[in-house]
Chain A
Amino acid sequence: MLKLPIYLDHNATTPMDPRVLEAMLPYFVENFGNAASRNHSFGWQAEEAVDYAREQIAQLIGADPKEIIITSGATEGDNLGIKGVFEMYASKGNHIITCTTEHKAVLDTCKHLEKLGAEVTYLEVQPDGLIDLKQLEAAMRPTTILVAIMYANNEIGVIQPVKEISAIAKKHGALFFTDAVQAVGKIPVDVNADGIDIMAFTAHKMYGPKGVGALYVRRKNPRVKVTAQMDGGGHERGMRSGTLNVPGIVGFGKACEVARLDMAADTERISKLRDKLENALTQIEESYVNGNPAHRLPHVSNISFKYVEGEGLMMGFNKDIALSSGSACTSASLEPSYVLKALGLGDDLAHSSLRFGLGRNTTEEQIDFTIKAVTETVLKLREMSPLWEMFKDGVDIDAIQWAHH
């Protein structure tokens, strides 16, 4: 039996895996110790649990456990990684390179640093969402201390060429930071093979609990340090003070272990469902996939349905299907997705987009239901759309002088 509503917004967050919950449960009431308590068994037990989780986390990304700095999530990781490098390496330079499709936690952190004297280059992306490596090379300066480019994009799922990016950064003596929130646990990420120096990621995007994440900080070749952004007890090798969230960390560790063991099978199954969904929905006239389909996360599909508006479209099925739109009709600004606009999509196509994020629990039955519901709603709304009528009548919509309000 198909149970409604269907959750297809796994880029926003994922349900916690029951195996993760089970691992966490003993660490709330029974084993509640503070991992920093060095003088009694409660503390030792907590510390042991954290050490084990740190190994599980490190193993997923090919790191050493000592290189894992626990945070509250990826927003904190982005802030600590970028601000921490800017402060720590101030004597070497003040130039940071990032790109326009980054998450706000990276973009707004860079904007904040500009006020403190940083020079920031925001690379444009190509129409398929990938950055241009030649542009990156050309943007490098002697004062460049950091290249901050995301591993995979949250809205369109496009995977950046991180190996090539890190090689360019290294060649010019800059560090490479990546926000890998959408990638870790979904596709193989290896900090050594990928040449990553600092990396932010989080548990709740990979079937772990909310409120816990990690910053990978390289210890060898080169040894990287970031200046702490919170003062206190000097936890996490002095880079991130604060009592450790032991149950959260245990859950994060378990989520990493499950992801490592199940990734290949999950990817094979989920990508087939994604392709089925995408192939069916692009049968609809005037529908377009956003982002490079060859360099993309296996569970994401972002599609624009021209001449219908995304929020209006979602209303047709949002009691049954949960997903996201690039339309920002709900926000006061009326601005559509800046990521889609950065691909060079017109505002109208950005307003017309839906993001499908499949996950571990997505079934074929759910995908069949979704294909039917979305197709029916698109066709119904087009019958109601003046733009669709104009398109069908051969009117050039771009040539009309619209009154902007």
Chain B
Amino acid sequence: MAYSDKVIDHYSNPKNVGTLDKASKSVGTGLVGAPECGDVMRLQIEVDQATGLITDAKFKTFGCGSAIASSSLATEWLKGKTIDEAVKIDNMDLVEELNLPPVKIHCSVLAEDAIKAAINDFRSKNGLEELVFEQSHV
């Protein structure tokens, strides 16, 4: 199975690899997946409290090239979005942009889950109720 050029590009030059201060109130952290399943993603967002805009996003991923590319692309998309816009990122958008084959769709699902987990972490830190999400497309 050959990888798409976009997956190879994100794998070779991943965007926004790194760590934000998870203790900070303006940072939301989502850690999803499991080592036994071969995929763990940690995605973090930093939110400007005044404007509600995501000013920074970072990730670290243990997984295959498609998992790394999905999380790298997700951080690109998150930056500059409001929380309300970020919630709407759908895993199928990642699949389309990266040309992921069917066996790799779970990588995009994981990235969507990581975004939502990071948003909920931010919300609960700031006294907001956690959002309840529907299951993503698998």
Contact = CB atoms under 8 A, between A and B. Distances in A.
B37 A384 contact: no
Contacts of A402: 33-36, 40
Given A384-B17, A389-B19, A334 B61 contact: no
Interface stretch (B64-72, B81-89, B123-131): B64-72
Tell me which of B31, B32, B38 has the highest count of chain A C-beta atoms within 10 A of its own C-beta.
B38
Interface string A319-353: 00000000111111010100000000011100100
A312 B35 contact: no
Contact of B109 (A331, A347, A387, A405): A405
Contact of A386 (B31, B64, B65, B113): B31
A331 B37 CA distance: 12
Closest 9 pairs between A and B when the two form their complex, measured CB to CB: A402-B34, A347-B36, A348-B35, A386-B42, A386-B60, A315-B65, A311-B64, A351-B38, A329-B64
Given A384-B60, A386-B31, A348 B68 contact: no
Contacts of B17: 383-384
A309 B65 CA distance: 9
B36 A389 contact: no
B62 A309 contact: yes
B38 A386 contact: no
A387 B68 contact: no
A312 B63 contact: yes
B12 to A, nearest CB: 8
Nearest to A308: B62
A3 interface: no
Contact of A405 (B11, B14, B37): B37
Contact of B38 (A316, A332, A336, A388): A336
Contacts of B14: 384
A229 to B, nearest CB: 34
B65 A334 contact: no
Classify chain A: how many residues form its interface, as a range: 20 to 34
Interface string B38-49: 111110000000
B103 A385 contact: no
A386 B40 CA distance: 7
A397 interface: yes
Nearest to B14: A384
B119 to A, nearest CB: 16
Nearest to B36: A347
A327 B38 contact: yes
A92 B65 CA distance: 54
Contacts of B62: 307-309, 312, 385-388
Given A330-B1, A405-B110, A386 B36 contact: no
B3 interface: yes
A325 to B, nearest CB: 10
B65 A330 contact: no
Nearest to A312: B64
B3 to A, nearest CB: 7
B106 interface: yes
8 contacts: A307-B62, A315-B3, A331-B103, A332-B103, A348-B36, A348-B38, A405-B106, A405-B110
A405 B110 CA distance: 9
Contact of A315 (B11, B34, B61): B11
A334 B38 contact: yes
B37 A315 contact: no
